[in-house]
Structure 1
């Protein structure tokens, strides 16, 4: 019995031994990080922004290296800014949109029956990284007990720099939302910081 158990366990031991150590580390990225070079602080030198998704595509961490250029990044260099757990959503894109603005696109569900897509715009003003804009579109389907499906469609687009925003429900066009919005310090941003018009 003992021998039979040991022989049966061998394939499992071998399989476990062949798993790369990086796959076993909880804080290792599960995908290659996104990188973009831009002059985010408008000082005439190229900066580097990196966003890496953690294990199981969760908790994306954002790092910014000022004056790092667009060549190969020195792995020993410490970032000038780091935002841990920027979002739990899956990162789809990291882009420079001109005038030093950085845009991060992410999704939850990513096309499933319950999904949304969000865009976060980041700028550098008065020596601070700020959230300058946030948009979100959702398509949320819930199956009810009677077998029918309740669908919630909507979206929002908030410009924290102008203080204005629009929101929509179902397939209606976006309408201005009440209230004035102001830029949010990126260091303080989280998914809980989403403006009320962007909730559903």
Structure 2
């Protein structure tokens, strides 16, 4: 039995209103306070000729870590649209030497630098290299270095290309075998075991 045209129009209108409401809620939940922005970089990661943006944002809760927003350009709907939000990606302090930042890698990749170079005896730096592959952002590299300000004989370093599995631990070649992890799925457990500080 065919539904009356008025009912179809009514159902379609409700559907559109619900979709618009959901879109507004998503946009509101990802609204960035400019005062919380830690670092911003731009590049064309999806190779469409437009300018994309990555924004590292300080956590609003002191128990959380900094989150990363990545916006990709779309010729059909400028300005750039939010592609991914990855919360709790980079440890963040409030002092100089503990505030994370973004940088562009040599190949144009996104580098997320976090560190503790100011507090206590355990000092460290970490770099996540993020690349755009097959329509998704993946963690393509992991670099970690640490030292002890009291034990001058202690130093640890690990630098792994997660796309190839090749890298170095304490300046000696190593090979890791693990699937490439999408940025959306990255966690502390994704860090290669060989790179977990001794």
Could you state the TM-score of these two structures normalised by the residue count of structure 2? 0.68
1:88 Cα deviation from its structure 2 partner = 2.4
- Give the Cα–Cα distance (whole angstroms) in 1 for the partners of residues 161 and 146 of structure 2: 18
Contact 1:47 / 1:68 at 8 angstroms: preserved in 2? no
Does residue 138 of the first structure (1) align with residue 146 of the second (2)? yes
Q: Give 2:132's aligned residue.
A: 124
- Give the Cα–Cα distance (whole angstroms) in 2 for the partners of residues 128 and 158 of structure 1: 20
1:110 Cα deviation from its structure 2 partner = 3.9
Instruction: Indicate how the Cα distance of structure 1 residues 155 and 184 shifts in structure 2: closer, same or farther if over 3 A, else same.
Output: same
**Number of residue pairs matched by the alignment:** 158
Matched ranges for 1:177-192 at <5 A: 177-192=174-189
Q: Secondary structure at the match of 1:177?
A: strand
| Residue from 44, 59, 77 that aligns with 2:65 | 59
Cα deviation per residue 1:121-167 (whole Å; 9 max; x = unaligned)? 0010101100000100001367xxxxxx5863110000012221110
Matched ranges for 1:142-157 at <5 A: 152-157=154-159
Q: Give 1:166's aligned residue.
A: 168
Q: Secondary structure at the match of 1:42?
A: coil
Instruction: Indicate how the Cα distance of structure 1 residues 68 and 35 shifts in structure 2: closer, same or farther if over 3 A, else same.
Output: farther
Q: Give 1:83's aligned residue.
A: 86
Please report the RMSD computed on the Cα atoms of aligned residues, expressed in angstroms.
3.0
Matched ranges for 1:25-44 at <5 A: 31-44=36-49
- Give the Cα–Cα distance (whole angstroms) in 2 for the partners of residues 96 and 150 of structure 1: 32
Does residue 199 of the first structure (1) align with residue 181 of the second (2)? no
Instruction: Indicate how the Cα distance of structure 1 residues 126 and 193 shifts in structure 2: closer, same or farther if over 3 A, else same.
Output: same
- Give the Cα–Cα distance (whole angstroms) in 1 for the partners of residues 74 and 40 of structure 2: 12
Q: Secondary structure at the match of 1:80?
A: strand
Contact 1:41 / 1:100 at 8 angstroms: preserved in 2? no
* Unaligned stretches of 5+ residues in structure 2: 1-31, 93-97
Contact 1:133 / 1:160 at 8 angstroms: preserved in 2? yes
- Give the Cα–Cα distance (whole angstroms) in 1 for the partners of residues 87 and 68 of structure 2: 6
Contact 2:145 / 2:158 at 8 angstroms: preserved in 1? yes
1:182 Cα deviation from its structure 2 partner = 4.1
- Give the Cα–Cα distance (whole angstroms) in 1 for the partners of residues 74 and 153 of structure 2: 46
With a CA cutoff of 8 Å and minimum separation of 6, indicate the structure with the bigger relative contact order. Answer: 1
Q: Secondary structure at the match of 2:189?
A: helix
